[in-house]
Structure 1
Amino acid sequence: MTNRRELLRLLAASAPAAAGIGLWPSSLQAQAERAGLIAANVCSLSPEVTEGPFYLDPNLVRRDIREDRGGVPMTMNVQVVTADCRPINGARVDLWHCDAQGNYSGFARQGSDNTRDTRGQTFLRGTQISGNGGQVAFQTIFPGWYRGRTTHMHFKVILGRDEALTGQIFFPDALSQYVFENASAYDRAALQDTTNVDDWIAIDAGEGAYAQVKERSDGYDASLVVAVDYTERRGASVTRGAEYELATGT
């Protein structure tokens, strides 16, 4: 039998290299699910990375953040947990990313060519508060790309009044290439110039920042477990209970 501490050790030892993101052993994924985790990516406290471009808080608590943006449908599931993988309820999660053409909402000089003005717009931005299990889910699209960066999303986790973590979410290069080559919303005159292995932010973030992606009939479901430094005074609560007992995978 494997306890929660041993599960964390196994996750850390089995995290795939960047070239094989998403290829966690099925036995380990099953153990993570039995432990109440939505993905097997978590190895330790999630690393802080640069906030990146164009954060703003439009005060939009909502699940569906697409507005008028076209693209391949994706549900982005995020689970906020403590360092020992106990879900945190009441955590605020902000998510934002560019559209299929590489534009963020709310700012001038958007896209790889810096010509699009999206001031006053709020597409592909939203906030949710984690409920039971520390989970939130955003209905969105697969993100596009812009010059100098690999495909990614941005997120913040806020506990009470404290910003607990700012991070980015990454996806398999093969999936990005497939989407960009086959979905018309992503048609561009240029080809994506940066992939995961070339992106220094993705490299710094490590394997634990890559979403676990599952295909569905109309798009994709992506999941990421985010482990943050938790203290009781931050105004959220931890789901407590008996230690999970997990069957050892073979």
Structure 2
Amino acid sequence: MTDTSTAQATAAASGAAATEQFRTRQPTSASGADTARVDTLVTELLTAAHDIIRRHKVTYEEYNTLKTWLIQVGEDGEWPLFLDVWLEHVVEEVAGEDRQGSKGTIEGPYYIPDAPRRPAEATLPMRENEAGVPLLFQGQVRAVDGTPLAGATVEIWHADADGFYSQFAPGLPEWNLRGTVVADDQGNFKIHTVEPAPYQIPTDGSCGRLIRSAGWHAWRPAHLHLKVSAAGHQLVTTQLYFKGGSHVADDIASAVKHELILDPTPGADGNSREVTYDFVLDKA
């Protein structure tokens, strides 16, 4: 077992880490935004909010409760969590609607770029006696026309058997269960890791209060995160789930697609599982 407890992995700490990571990767200036586009999107967003207020006869008490909650989301550093859980899946759906290759889904708030590079067959960094069923995840990266993509990169990260991500919960080694695997000259890769667990998104902060107030659950199904790329091709960001797993059918983030569900088989040693999943990339 890990030495990280649920109490230690607070929403505030996770939110602060996710916010900082996002800021390092995203320009702060919006000077390049199309003015007409911003006008259209913001006006329609506000119009939709106005319509909700009118249709449901929102009271000042409800309005002030919402205002207080929105302020607290920012103070808790939970905007990345809120947006990635409840909005990103629709943005991804629109962004990938013309893709012919592999299906994508949300990135989520726990991606860290520049994970250490590893060869085509690699074991992800993990602690001695890392909890979880050993998993061999293997496959091939190829183009839409079937051409193997030599040297494609497969970035992979996932939660541990307690549902925690390295760099977002204390007590975990920096790159635990994270890596960038470089496929061989035929686009093949083999990644040795452990199966992650389903987990609840942090519930001790503002997002948790929303979940409780609405009577929702906070669970995400067990999943592997991946970013797969190759020169001259579109990067695909995705998550892969496990057939029969808890909350595959009612993921709080609405990110599951049937094409993304794995069905591992027992490994030869009887103590592990293995699965093959190929990635197909569109031309850039």
For normalisation by structure 2, the TM-score amounts to 0.51
- Corresponding residue for 2:236? 165
> Which residue among 132, 156, 163 is the counterpart of 1:102?
163
Q: Could you tell me whether the CA contact under 8 Å between 1:210 and 1:224 is conserved in 2? A: no
Question: CA separation of 1:92/1:104 partners in 2, compared to 1, >3 Å: closer, same or farther?
Answer: same
Q: Within 1, Cα distance between the matches of 2:125 and 2:182?
A: 18
Identical-residue share of aligned pairs (%): 28
Shift in Å, 1:119 = 6.8
- Corresponding residue for 1:214? 265
- Corresponding residue for 2:212? none
Q: Could you tell me whether the CA contact under 8 Å between 1:168 and 1:209 is conserved in 2? A: yes
- Corresponding residue for 2:255? 201
The answer to which structure has the higher helix fraction is 2
Q: Could you tell me whether the CA contact under 8 Å between 1:104 and 1:118 is conserved in 2? A: no
Shift in Å, 1:158 = 2.2
Greater radius of gyration (CA) = 2
Amino acid at match of 2:260: A
Higher RCO (CA 8 Å, separation ≥ 6 residues): 1
> Which residue among 117, 123, 140 is the counterpart of 1:79?
140
TM-align CA RMSD: 2.3
Shift in Å, 1:118 = 4.7
1:70-125 residue CA offsets vs partner (Å, 9 max, x unmatched): 211111113212123332111111000000000000124xxxxxxxx257621100
1:229-240 residue pairs with structure 2 within 5 A?
Answer: 229-231=282-284
Shift in Å, 1:57 = 2.6
> Which residue among 80, 93, 111 is the counterpart of 2:154?
93
Look up the SS of the partner of 2:109 in the other structure: coil
Q: How many residues align?
A: 159
Q: Could you tell me whether the CA contact under 8 Å between 2:115 and 2:175 is conserved in 1? A: no
Amino acid at match of 1:64: T
Shift in Å, 1:162 = 7.1
- Corresponding residue for 1:67? 126
For normalisation by structure 1, the TM-score amounts to 0.58
Q: Within 2, Cα distance between the matches of 1:74 and 1:120?
A: 20
**Which of structure 1's runs of 4+ aligned residues deviate more than 4 A?**
none
Question: CA separation of 1:76/1:49 partners in 2, compared to 1, >3 Å: closer, same or farther?
Answer: same
Q: Within 2, Cα distance between the matches of 1:158 and 1:70?
A: 30
Q: Within 2, Cα distance between the matches of 1:169 and 1:220?
A: 15
Residue ranges of structure 2 left out of the alignment (5+ in a row): 1-99, 201-218
- Corresponding residue for 2:278? 225
Q: Could you tell me whether the CA contact under 8 Å between 1:155 and 1:167 is conserved in 2? A: yes
